């Protein structure tokens, strides 16, 4: 490709948080330009947001149907190449399906859909069209997460025995959904956020991180979900025991009511020979712990890192990389894959979460809910 990819955005107007993050990430490598958008369900906000981003007046849309229809009718050299969907969970499936049906690649916020059935339909449509879908599980974009994945894959730690992953936040420790917090309102509404608030919103990140780094897949789980804040409609805290396909055991905890916490995501993995540990709030450090030997400290930007980590490192050692850079890595890899596809080729090194990770994420949410409602100790992880 000898040009930038053209992006359209659904949601993410000036009254939203995550849309700006996506635009920064997409623009980080100079490989993408925003050419159109339906940036809000509020017509006035949609138009004002489009103007503030200097979009042409005729490419500021007020709903996704109009945007996809009109963009599909533009000449190939003008229309958007892909759509980024940053709407609440209940508004993921329909626009993603319509975009794929009209020949557009898709970037979509997690969780991929509202239900597992929708995720299955979306995967079938991706396979039918041959188009590319990227799911923004941001944390897999960190260089030291990729280094952890390489270390596990190398066999240096031996067989994985135990995985402990947790994601703790405190922003829902009060009933903020009744105090004008729009993000809290839709996330805790089962009709808009899905069957589980805590597992859909942050538990899926922890689940994805565990499977990504270890290369293993969950086969069974045992979940305990709870509504801590009285009067809330959906769970805000939970713990899940996990069984992996190599026989390893795991425990996943997620809480949106851990007062005082910000985005405390961490993972610890124990193998036969040693273990590793990574904290999202200290993302440039990876700890390797050995039995009878000193702990090793791996740092981002250093020459001893593996290829996967180096390919996703942007700054020299000692210059912190964080959330935006990790997000940018997701977009860069997606763009490389799409550009190659448009040139009739396949990029086998571009790595990013896909529709498969989205499907497994929804299966995790629904399996956790089913387990929580069951009297059985273990529930099979089913797709």
Provide CATH 3.40.50.720 ranges for the chain.
5-139+328-354
Residues 141-315+360-380, CATH architecture:
2-Layer Sandwich (3.30)
Task: Give the predicted TM-score (pTM) of the model.
Answer: 0.96
* Residue 111 preceded by cis peptide, ω within 30: yes
Asked whether the beta carbons of 8 and 67 are under 8 A apart, the reply is yes
Taking only the tens place, the pLDDT of each residue in 192-211 is 999 999 999 999 999 999 99
Rounded Cα distance between 166 and 268, Å, is 9
Question: Could you give the CA distance from residue 63 to residue 50 in angstroms, rounded to a whole number?
Answer: 13
CA nearest to 276, candidates 267, 284, 293 = 267
pLDDT in tens, 59-94: 999 999 999 999 999 999 999 999 999 999 999 999
Work out the angle between the directed axes of helices 355-373 and 116-129 (0-180°, nearest 10): 160
pLDDT exceeds cutoff 80 at 369: yes
**Mean pLDDT, residues 128-138:** 97
Specify the fold of 5-139+328-354: Rossmann fold (3.40.50)
pLDDT > 80? residue 184: yes
**CATH 3.30.360.10 spans which residues of the chain?**
141-315+360-380
- pLDDT per residue as tens digits for the range 330-363: 999 999 999 999 999 999 899 999 999 999 999 9
What is the residue-averaged pLDDT of the chain?
Answer: 97
1 pLDDT exceeds 80?
no
pLDDT band at 243 (very low <50, low <70, confident <90, very high): very high
Query: What pLDDT, on the 0 to 100 scale, is given for residue 248?
Result: 98
């Amino acid at each position: 490709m000898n040009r930038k990819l053209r992006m359209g955005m659904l949601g993410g107007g000036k009254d939203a948080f995550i849309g700006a993050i996506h635009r920064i990430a997409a623009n980080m490598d100079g490989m993408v330009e925003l050419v159109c958008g339906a940036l809000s369900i509020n017509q006035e906000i949609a138009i004002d947001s489009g103007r503030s981003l200097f979009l042409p007046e005729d490419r500021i849309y007020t709903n996704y149907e109009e945007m996809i229809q009109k963009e599909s009718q533009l000449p190939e050299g003008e229309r958007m190449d892909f759509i980024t969907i940053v709407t609440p969970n209940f508004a993921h499936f329909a626009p993603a399906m319509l975009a794929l049906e009209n020949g557009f690649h898709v970037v979509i916020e997690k969780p991929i859909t509202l239900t597992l059935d929708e995720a299955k339909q979306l995967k079938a449509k991706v396979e039918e069209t041959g188009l590319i879908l990227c799911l923004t599980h941001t944390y897999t974009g960190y260089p030291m997460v990729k280094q952890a994945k390489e270390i596990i894959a190398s066999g240096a730690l031996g067989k994985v025995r135990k995985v402990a992953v947790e994601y703790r936040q405190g922003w829902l420790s009060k009933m903020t959904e009744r105090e004008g917090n729009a993000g809290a309102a839709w996330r805790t509404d089962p009709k808009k956020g899905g069957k589980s608030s805590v597992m859909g919103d942050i538990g899926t990140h922890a689940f994805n991180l565990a499977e990504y780094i270890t290369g293993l897949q969950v086969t069974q789980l045992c979940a305990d979900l709870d509504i801590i804040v009285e009067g809330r409609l959906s769970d805000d805290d939970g713990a899940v025991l996990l069984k992996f396909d190599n026989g390893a055991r795991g425990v996943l905890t997620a809480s949106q009511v851990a007062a005082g916490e910000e985005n405390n995501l961490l993972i610890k993995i124990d193998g036969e020979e040693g273990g590793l540990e990574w904290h999202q709030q200290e993302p440039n450090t990876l700890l390797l712990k050995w039995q009878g030997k000193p702990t090793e400290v791996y740092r981002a930007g250093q020459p001893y890192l593996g290829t996967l980590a180096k390919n996703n490192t942007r700054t020299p050692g000692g210059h912190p990389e964080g959330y935006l850079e990790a997000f940018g890595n997701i977009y860069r890899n997606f763009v490389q894959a799409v550009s190659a596809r448009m040139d009739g080729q396949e990029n086998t090194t571009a790595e990013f979460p896909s529709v498969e990770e989205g499907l497994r994420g929804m299966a995790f949410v629904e399996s956790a809910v089913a387990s929580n409602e069951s009297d059985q100790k273990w529930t099979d992880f089913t797709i």
